Amino acid sequence: MSKNLLAISIFVLSLALLYNGYQLGKEHVGEKIPEQNEIPGKGLMTMEETAKYLSLNEQQFVDLINVQQKEREPLESFDTYRFIPFIEIKEEKLFNRVQLDEWIKHNSMIWEKWNE
């Protein structure tokens, strides 16, 4: 009887493993592969992507960057997140999502209007 019980247990366990493997494989069928713009960990964003991330239209964002550039030019030093941080590569401004979040956090604690 114990020989039969062991064989039955192995058979039931095998069926359970096969069924679970089938269920796990079935979950990913038809799943959409994210595009580059949808990848949450993407390092740098363009002006257009950053404007969308900040819930602004592109012209509002360009205007904000231009106002900040004018304010930043005469300064020799300033708080790290007083202005939107970016890097410029071949005359294209690129923005880091983590630094944007820090800029938002910093500026949400002060009462300053950018559109005066």
Higher-confidence residue of 81 and 65: namely 65
Query: Is residue 97's pLDDT more than 60?
Result: yes
- Residue 112: what pLDDT? 57
Question: 45: alpha, beta or left, given left = phi > 0 and alpha = psi -120 to 50?
Answer: beta
- CA atoms of 97 and 41, how far apart (whole Å): 9
Across-strand partners of 93?
88
Mean pLDDT of the chain: 80
How do residues 23-75 score in pLDDT, each as one tens digit?
777 666 565 655 545 555 667 999 999 999 999 999 999 999 999 889 888 88
pTM of the model: 0.56
Q: What is the mean pLDDT of residues 96-114?
A: 80
Print the SS3 string covering 7-47: HHHHHHHHHHHHHHHHHHHHHCCCCCCCCHHHCCCCCEECH
Under DSSP, is residue 88 helix (H, G, I), strand (E, B) or coil? strand
